[in-house]
Amino acid sequence: MDRRRLLQLAVLLCLLVLCSGREIKTKHTPIYNSTLARTLAEYTSAVYSADLTQLFTWTCERCGDLTEGFEVIELIVDVKNCLQAYVGFASDMNAAIVVFRGTQQTSIQNWIEDLFWKQLDLDYPGMPQAKVHSGFYSAYHNTTLRNGVVNGIQKAREAYGNIPIMVTGHSMGGAMASFCALDLLVNYRLKDVTLMTFGQPRIGNAAFASYFKCYLPNAIRVTNEHDIVPHLPPYYHYFPQKTYHHFPHEVWIHDVGLGNLVYPTEQICDDSGEDPNCCRSVSGNSVQDHIQYLGISMHAESHGTCRIVTADTILQHKMDNDGNIVLSKKPASETHHATTSTWDCLLDSPRTNFSPAFYLSSQMLFIFMTIKAHSQDQSRGMDARDRPIAVDSGDAICMDERSYEEVVMATRKERKREALLFT
């Protein structure tokens, strides 16, 4: 063996010793669990499935291996804004899992270009000097996702007790997951909330990052090699208080070694959120590194934009006037009942089973009130479509070949038909 080969081998052995089991740990950092990271990465990969039936029943191609036996409780699709999330129970971890989908692959290039110009244009409520980007904030707080996620967590805790909550997401889904975890702690006053994201962008300024660290001191942001998204929106270290700033802690996945002797490592970074020795030490110029984490695909199965497929055998189906969908079911086990005093003032009561006669009469009353409200709106010059109306139906809808606009039009036609029957 020549001297060069021996030198490469010696360097590799030194690196392996320093890595200490694939993790480089620094003082005062949280414990990073590689197996947990891979498990949450598999959950995050699954949320990109376009087939809602397979995702809801956990039979999709990506629904297996470390996530086998997972039980989906709530699946939320904001069709208008092309957002998707789900909540479920993982029996092996005895935890509720909340997962947010990232940007679809067909629009990722435009989305990345937009990230260069995102402004800190919103004061985060209740946190002086903390600023965030309104688009990231609104994607979670001002869409169908927030209520659906909170409802799913409530169901999981009513069935399985005060189980811990693990929130995760990739890319834009990581940004929404971060706001969700903070929301659960600050506004819903829940405890035992864990956050781990993959390839998420910066979402706020340094003041916001400091607040975030106080509430979620053990949050983990996994970054990968030269992934471009964690570098955006840009951070300028000369103006740390006036620019975007990551919250800690970053775990940077990258290769170490020489030539063919390369070994992947997961480096735990410092408490600053902007460790210059982690992903900031390299150029962020790779989209490919963004859509592959821990060897797991983080992108949609097809190149269709927001295409949704589902069968007509789903337990419950809800669609509002904008075509947004919530698929939900009762947890498999409801033998344990958590104390829900925190939730009582924040959420509606759990769904109750009524007799067919009561259900029919309530539906007739609902239609009557809808017609009455429509008449009042007409007198005020308001289009009734401006008010979102929730619709419960026992039948699911197959959206295999229908576009979003076709689904919304079909929903409105059905409402008009029902209204005519009772006029």
By annotation, the residues acting in catalysis are 171, 227, 290
Alpha helices (H) along 190-304: 206-215
Phi, psi of 367 (to 5 degrees): -65, -40
Rounded distance between C-alpha atoms, residue 240 and residue 110, angstroms: 27
Rounded distance between C-alpha atoms, residue 251 and residue 108, angstroms: 23
Supply the DSSP symbol for 63: S
How long a stretch of residues is the chain? 423
The angle, 0 to 180 degrees and rounded to 10, between the axes of the packed helices 134-141 and 144-160 is 50
Q: What's the one-letter identity of residue 182?
A: L
Structure tokens, 294:
């821990």
Classify 217 as helix, strand or coil: coil
CA distances from 45 to 84, 156, 292 (A): 12, 22, 10
CA distances from 244 to 207, 216, 273 (A): 10, 18, 11
Classify 205 as helix, strand or coil: strand
Rounded distance between C-alpha atoms, residue 291 and residue 278, angstroms: 19
